[in-house]
Chain A
């Protein structure tokens, strides 16, 4: 560098010295402590009936999960409003405290920490992206913070987490893909190429779908992991073997539309059968230009985005409450498409939290009360379809901390998704890999 000038010493006039700053901070801290001790600021040990129950909502407001986060937040707010209107949880209103985790594991753990120490919430809930769950759950366990995630990853049921972490509102990937494999092998083909994200969530797909399709006499001919930071996908498609009968895709993050569009450019109408997880198109309008080639392909859905001919009363109720139209988009903006196959988990989880708190007689965030809450959640066995569980019946394993529900396979027809198959809950259940109830509280 040629333009070298010696920097002038800092003049420091008018700047705050470190000592002054510390003094100021000390005064503020002291003042706060004094206020806490002063008469008139007595902290009630006994909770009154009307004192709110605080639920910390760990939301992906920014980062790669933002589209999911927006809809998780809308669904959560809708459910909280309904629960509060109906008298709250055990007569106490829910006070929802939302913090953005930036879809980032490190910040996720910090948010859990903040909920525990600053907001002093009773329960933390709502995390979706698997790497954020993996980053946050250990801290939740250390803090003895009941932590209800809505993530669909297999990490809860695999035994990788802890006794304080539950996933009662959405089926895990292992069960989802196990229940898909028989239908795929029977109706689409047996030679499968898999395209999936190159991290935990994608590995769940890779490991459990491969195993499940082999059970059906099929085989995975090629695995194509895509790095999380990838923004361009055409270069991967030539690696798909030409004898592939079924192309299985699952993708998440801001690049999903590019991914599906480039797949269409590559194949045009001359394509193998395509079976995707709707994750590849969550929050994306099916009518986006470049997606026409998807007509006649199939998607897994946890919960049909488009209102079907046999729409249940519960689905009507849930759609109206969250503000979603019959096409799965926002009532206010038809281009703002929801993450319909995931966000119902927030709604259902909140009702499960309500049930668990009420069954356990939970009062306040003491170790004894938390223990009761954990045990009451573990004691549950399932839920019936209804306004509180609009996605359908579910069974729940207290051992695994995981629920199991029906899954759907939909065909793209005329730019919409039509359900062609609904699995039985038993199709996805598997041998337990862990027993959380044996862990210490």
Chain B
């Protein structure tokens, strides 16, 4: 294959991966930014989204209808689970950074083992809601992957709008900036925390629903998005939403291009190296300002 089409395929693969990664990493960045906790179980919300998507697709039968049900109901279920976790666990630890890291490590295993127990050890496939193949002169490409990129873009826009233009967003930003002052001004910080934790989990779950017709739903699938999200969030700046999205595109597209032209292992090595460099030379991340206070 000549260079042009080769590069085109690399960019297409990279862009689709970047959009899904941006959704997942945005959830992680949001939770860290507002609540100042590191959610190690974030990848499991992604996995739960995928597993629920399989369940709904299986119950409904019709692929398109099943997908529609899944993309609405899975995030709601996962968000509900996140609310319960927030109330039952995180709040009891008073959102202490150290305690919540350990607690979410535990959650990672608990959620994974619950999925293994009730969903089983198999990778199960879900039929794509639309099944068309884009035939380019040099190669074919999955039409559904383009749909994934489109839906992700819309959701990213909606999240951006929600955070910058709505009252809920304002309250979240105020809490992020200084939670004590926010509380003094009558913002129910506890409820904001719960809402943010649920929203972060829902973003990961939607990414899981979108990815499941491409990959399969599998109880151990949460690890990869977790690691990539951490890479993205560290490079972008812990808590910086803009940084997370930009870093997701840098990592996603460079991963696509490097793995097509060189080797997938090299792209992982470079991404990890970039994390190390960022941590050494700019520990607050490329876009993370110094935290308030």
Residues of A in contact with B (beta carbons under 8 Å apart): 1-5, 7, 61-63, 66-67, 69-70, 227, 229-232, 234-239, 242, 254-255, 257-258, 262, 265-268, 283, 288-290
Contact of A235 among B13, B36, B94 (CB under 8 A): B13
Q: Are B139 and A62 in contact (CB under 8 A)?
A: no
Q: Find the A residue at minimum CB distance from B258.
A: A235
Question: Can you list 9 contacts pairing A with B, beta carbon distance less than 8 Å?
Answer: A5-B94, A7-B96, A70-B121, A234-B13, A235-B10, A235-B260, A257-B123, A266-B141, A267-B139
* B190 is an interface residue with CB less than 8 A from chain A: no
Contact of B139 among A3, A227, A231, A237 (CB under 8 A): A237
Given contacts A2-B291, A229-B224, A257-B123, contact A238 B264 (CB under 8 A): no
* B166 is an interface residue with CB less than 8 A from chain A: no
* B265 is an interface residue with CB less than 8 A from chain A: yes
B214 to nearest A CB, angstroms? 7
Measured CA separation A239–B265 after assembly (Å): 15
Measured CA separation A239–B5 after assembly (Å): 12
Across-interface contacts of B91 in A (CB, < 8 A): none
* B183 is an interface residue with CB less than 8 A from chain A: no
Q: Find the B residue at minimum CB distance from A66.
A: B121
Q: Are B96 and A255 in contact (CB under 8 A)?
A: no
* B184 is an interface residue with CB less than 8 A from chain A: no
* Leading 6 A-B pairs by shortest Cβ distance: A66-B121, A254-B123, A268-B140, A62-B121, A265-B142, A235-B260
Given contacts A231-B224, A290-B131, contact A258 B139 (CB under 8 A): no
Across-interface contacts of B9 in A (CB, < 8 A): 234-235, 238
Across-interface contacts of A288 in B (CB, < 8 A): 125
Across-interface contacts of B260 in A (CB, < 8 A): 235, 238-239
Query: Interface extent on B, as a size class?
Result: 35 or more
Measured CA separation A289–B130 after assembly (Å): 11
Q: Are B293 and A2 in contact (CB under 8 A)?
A: yes
Across-interface contacts of B140 in A (CB, < 8 A): 265-268
Contact of B36 among A2, A232, A242 (CB under 8 A): A2
Measured CA separation A289–B131 after assembly (Å): 9
Q: Are B216 and A255 in contact (CB under 8 A)?
A: yes
Residues of B in contact with A (beta carbons under 8 Å apart): 1, 5-6, 9-10, 13, 17, 36, 94-99, 116, 120-123, 125, 127-128, 131, 133, 135, 139-142, 214-216, 218, 220-221, 224, 256, 259-260, 264-265, 291-293
Across-interface contacts of A236 in B (CB, < 8 A): 264
Measured CA separation A66–B13 after assembly (Å): 29
Measured CA separation A262–B13 after assembly (Å): 12
Q: Are B1 and A242 in contact (CB under 8 A)?
A: yes
Across-interface contacts of A3 in B (CB, < 8 A): 36, 95-97
A166 to nearest B CB, angstroms? 27
Q: Find the A residue at minimum CB distance from B256.
A: A235
Report which residue of B6, B94, B123 has the largest number of chain A beta carbons within 10 angstroms of its beta carbon.
Answer: B123
Q: Are B214 and A268 in contact (CB under 8 A)?
A: no
Q: Are B122 and A67 in contact (CB under 8 A)?
A: yes
Across-interface contacts of B265 in A (CB, < 8 A): 227
Across-interface contacts of A254 in B (CB, < 8 A): 122-123, 216, 218, 220
Across-interface contacts of A2 in B (CB, < 8 A): 36, 291-293
Q: Are A238 and B6 in contact (CB under 8 A)?
A: yes
Given contacts A234-B9, A258-B215, contact A66 B122 (CB under 8 A): yes
Q: Are B224 and A1 in contact (CB under 8 A)?
A: no
A259 to nearest B CB, angstroms? 10
Across-interface contacts of A262 in B (CB, < 8 A): 142
Measured CA separation A101–B63 after assembly (Å): 35
Q: Find the A residue at minimum CB distance from B96.
A: A5
Report which residue of A69, A235, A237, A242 has the largest number of chain B beta carbons within 10 angstroms of its beta carbon.
Answer: A235
Measured CA separation A242–B139 after assembly (Å): 11
A399 to nearest B CB, angstroms? 37
Q: Find the A residue at minimum CB distance from B268.
A: A227
Across-interface contacts of B94 in A (CB, < 8 A): 5
A256 to nearest B CB, angstroms? 8
Measured CA separation A229–B5 after assembly (Å): 27
Measured CA separation A416–B46 after assembly (Å): 35
B178 to nearest A CB, angstroms? 9
Across-interface contacts of A242 in B (CB, < 8 A): 1
Across-interface contacts of B116 in A (CB, < 8 A): 62
Measured CA separation A63–B122 after assembly (Å): 9
Q: Are A257 and B125 in contact (CB under 8 A)?
A: yes
Given contacts A242-B1, A257-B125, contact A232 B131 (CB under 8 A): no
B95 to nearest A CB, angstroms? 7
Q: Find the B residue at minimum CB distance from A198.
A: B265
Q: Find the B residue at minimum CB distance from A290.
A: B131
Contact of B98 among A7, A230, A232 (CB under 8 A): A7
Q: Are B142 and A289 in contact (CB under 8 A)?
A: no
Measured CA separation A254–B120 after assembly (Å): 13
A336 to nearest B CB, angstroms? 9
A258 to nearest B CB, angstroms? 5
Measured CA separation A132–B77 after assembly (Å): 37
Across-interface contacts of A67 in B (CB, < 8 A): 121-123
Q: Find the B residue at minimum CB distance from A288.
A: B125
